[in-house]
Every structure is written in C-alpha cells, then in structure tokens.
Amino acid sequence: MSAEEIKKRLVGTHVKVHQLDFEIYEKEHMIKIIPHAEQETNIKTLPITHVEFTGKGDKTQVHISSKMRKIDKGGPLILLTFCFFMLAAALIMLISLREEGFEVYAFPMLGVSLLVFIVFWVRLESGYFDYIRKIRDYVKAASIV
C-alpha cells in the first residue's frame, strides 16, 4: 500500500489496549499515537508511538518507534538508579571488603537489588512493553492489504 492509503486508514481512529484509549493523529509528516490517560487513576508507564513512512515505489516501509511520556520517566529512572547503586555497593563490599566479613551485608544487598529489578522488569513487560506490542500489531494490521 502507499503511505497515503495507510495514513487514511490510521489517522482519526482510536485503539483500545487494556481498556485505555490511544488516539491516532498526524503531525509533522508522521503519525503519532498518544494515550488518553486523563481519567486514569492508576500509576502506569505509557508509550508515545511515532509511525513514519518511507515510500519505495508502490510499496511503503513503515518505521515504528516508541518512547516513554516525559511525565512517566521519573519513577523508572529512580528505581533503576536505586538498583544500580545497591548492586554497585554490594559488589564493592564483596571485592574490596571481603577480609572484614562484609559478605553478610553484601549478599542480601545483591539479592534485594536483583529482586527489585526483576519485579520492575516483569511489570514493564506486562504493562509498557505490552502496550507497544499491541499498538505495533494494530499498525501492521492496518498497513497490510
């Protein structure tokens, strides 16, 4: 399909993912898919998706990219920083303070940092990355004849 045909199919429609509405509109020669989360009371990390088209004759190559909303970046960034510093502190204790018996503190710190990171990653997979996958599938379905 041509880029214009795909745009006609997508622009102005809405996508529902996990009972959350995403609006599709065109801005600056690309399509943006943004969430309507004004009434959302739960804390969620939501993507903004950009769809760009590259015409190759009668075919069109579709480029899909997603990024976190600016308002949602703070929580994950703080959590990743916490995990990194806990992991670094545990490794420093294991490497340099092994003779003084700091393994008693290092192993629990290492375990807590890995546990927090694993829980965080699982939540991202079931939330943020799932939104991205379902939006990508919707765009693919709309761009196939």
pLDDT of 53 over the 90 cut: no
pTM as predicted = 0.80
- Both tokens assigned to 73: 């970046």
Q: Which amino acid is at 32?
A: K
Instruction: Please report the pLDDT score of residue 145 as a whole number.
Output: 59
Task: Say how many CA atoms lie within 13 Å of 51 toward its Cβ.
Answer: 26
Shortest CA distance to 108 belongs to which of 86, 136, 141? 86
The 10s digit of each residue's pLDDT in 24-37 is: 999 888 899 998 87
**pLDDT greater at residue 145 or residue 61:** 61
pLDDT band at 7 (very low <50, low <70, confident <90, very high): confident
Instruction: Please report the pLDDT score of residue 66 as a whole number.
Output: 94
